[in-house]
Structure 1
Amino acid sequence: MQVAAQVLVGAVAVIHTYFLILEMFLWDTPRGRKVFATTPEFSRESAPLAANQGLYNGFLAAGLVWGLVSDDPVAFGAQVFFLVCVIVAGLYGAATVNKRILAVQAVPAAVALALVVAAG
């Protein structure tokens, strides 16, 4: 159970690192516009906001990695805290931006959180 929990926490960290790259560096590119279904005009105008959002996703990833490389009790607390942050962000994003965010962000974090707590 512990290994599965750590693998899922790592996967959530990787997902958020990918979000960081998309939002900070690829937002105003054809790939970024395709992923987020934006127009060139919108992506150009909103690039600073997207970069800020990407930075926050990077902080989430960094916190999860911190939880993976730390020893307990820090590891457990960091993983729980940052997974809850990801879940809250995913729920808010799904409610306000796009329902897909629930499946891409909140559900993987919730499964990881359940495993972390069960392995506890």
Structure 2
Amino acid sequence: MQLLAQIVTGFVALIHIYIVLLETVLFDTRGRKVFGLSQEKAEIVRAGMSNQGCYNGFLVAALVVGFAHPNSVVGSAFTVFGLCCVAVAGVWGGLTVKRSILLIQTLPAVVALALHFAASAV
């Protein structure tokens, strides 16, 4: 169960690495297309998207620390914190931006949390 929790958490981290890249370094090319923005609209939101990408980077950092920390209790706390942040951000994005964010961001984080807690209970 722990391995499955780690795999799903890794998947969540990879999703957010991709999101960070789309919102920052790939925004003018791939990011603009993924977010369905015209060139004009992209010019208006570029700085905000880059800032949002920075925040998504912090979510990735929490998950990476969760994997890498030598103390399993501390690592677990970072993992739970990171996944909770991803889930809350996904709910907010689903309510304010686009409903599909609930499936892309929130659902994997909630599944990873459930697996993490199930593995901890064993």
Report how far residue 69 of structure 1 moved: 1.1
Q: Which residues in structure 2 correspond to 1:43-82 (within 5 Å)?
A: 43-70=42-69, 71-82=71-82
Q: Any stretches of 5+ residues in structure 2 without a counterpart?
A: none
- Give aligned-pair identity as a percent: 49
1:3 — aligned with what? 3
TM-score, normalised on structure 1?
Answer: 0.96
Unmatched runs of 5 consecutive residues or more in structure 1: none
With 101-110 and 33-42 compared, the bigger mean Cα shift is at 33-42
Code of the aligned partner of 2:93: G
Aligned length: 119
Quote the Cα distance in structure 2 between the aligned partners of 1:69 and 1:8. 16
- Segments of 4+ in structure 1 off by > 3 A? none
Structure 2 match to 1:83: 83
* Cα deviation, residue 62, structure 1: 0.9
Task: Report the more deviating stretch, 97-106 or 19-28.
Answer: 19-28
Equivalent position amino acid for 2:7 in 1: V
